Structure 1
Amino acid sequence: MSVQPSIRQFLSQYFPVFMGAIFASIFSLVFAVPLFFDSYFGTLSMADNVKWSFWGGITLTLVVVHCNFMIARGRSFWVWPLVGVSGLCFLCVLPTIEYRPDSLIYSLSLFFPLVALLLLNSKRHREMRRKLVEIRHQRERIIQSAKASRPRR
């Protein structure tokens, strides 16, 4: 019997919350960025609005993807930029009620950042980050021992 948990057990336990946080972050960007540009920059032409929404969404999506990649590599402090992006989406969308956006879009723009923050702060996500840090430390020890046992030329 192995002391190490299997990858299947690890994924079945932590993969849903990990992917849920990713999807909630991406969906919060999908709804918040266009609403932000449409509300605050109403004088922009439709083409400029689409262009800036696209580039803003792509940039923030790359940040979300990079942060989640670093979390998966065992760098748990990269959760803070994700918290910042979700908080920024929520805080930028909240005052747009003054511009009378579509109620469904507005409510989804507030819902998804809150779900992302909830999932990032969940017990299971925190536990997953701790285990990924342990795996990173094990990996670094194995690499160091392999380098130490290798003969020098």
Structure 2
Amino acid sequence: MNPNHSPEGFKARYFPYFMAAFFMVCLSIGCAVSLASATYFAGYADRSDYSTFSLLVLAVLVFIGHFLMVRGRRWAVWIIAFLYCASLITVVSTYSFQPHRGVYMLGLLFPLIGLLLLNSTGHRQMRESLAKLHHERRQKRQHH
């Protein structure tokens, strides 16, 4: 991060991008798990257990991806992009089961908006600034 910029200015500029992408991945995963549960696990008595376990595992992946991205790891955005793509593929694969139209449309919309956000100029600038900050911190640790 440029020393001329304050942390408050950084947060004010990039926090909306970060939170919008975060909520889009959460909503994408929620729709995908909901549709997969209603279609692929419809006959199972334990389908709520499968859904809960899936959501917990995916929540950990979302946390790890965002935590590493905030810590300046450039490659961590691929974890988040993978989650968007996996959600999108899961939702599209339920089409032949004639899922609920509203959930299906939202399940398509959320990952596409999320991928668009990841590719936006603001999100790219945020990741670049976080990577520069990570590089500066690593150089300071090496000199001390």
Q: TM-score range by the shorter chain?
A: over 0.9
Deviating beyond 4 angstroms after TM superposition, the runs of 4 or more aligned structure 1 residues are none
2:48 pairs with 1:28? no
1:150 equivalent in structure 2: none
Structure 1 equivalent of residue 5 of structure 2: 5
Instruction: Give the alignment's TM-score, normalised by structure 2.
Output: 0.94
C-alpha distance after superposition, 1:10-67 (max 9, x if no partner) = 011111001110110001111111211221222212xx11110110011011101110
Task: Give the number of equivalent residue pairs.
Answer: 143
- 1:107 counterpart (76, 80, 105): 105
Q: Report what 1:142 is aligned to.
A: 140
Larger Rg: 1
Greater CA deviation, 94-103 or 61-70?
94-103
CA displacement at 1:97 relative to structure 2? 2.0
Unaligned 5+ runs, structure 1: 147-153
How big is the alpha-carbon RMSD for the aligned residues of Structure 1 and Structure 2? 1.3
**1:125 counterpart letter in structure 2:** H
Unaligned runs of 5+ in 2: none
Between stretches 115-124 and 66-75, larger displacement belongs to 115-124
| TM-score, normalised via structure 1 length | 0.88
Mapping for residues 50-129 of structure 1, pairs under 5 Å: 50-129=48-127
Q: Which residue of 2 aligns with 1:41?
A: 41
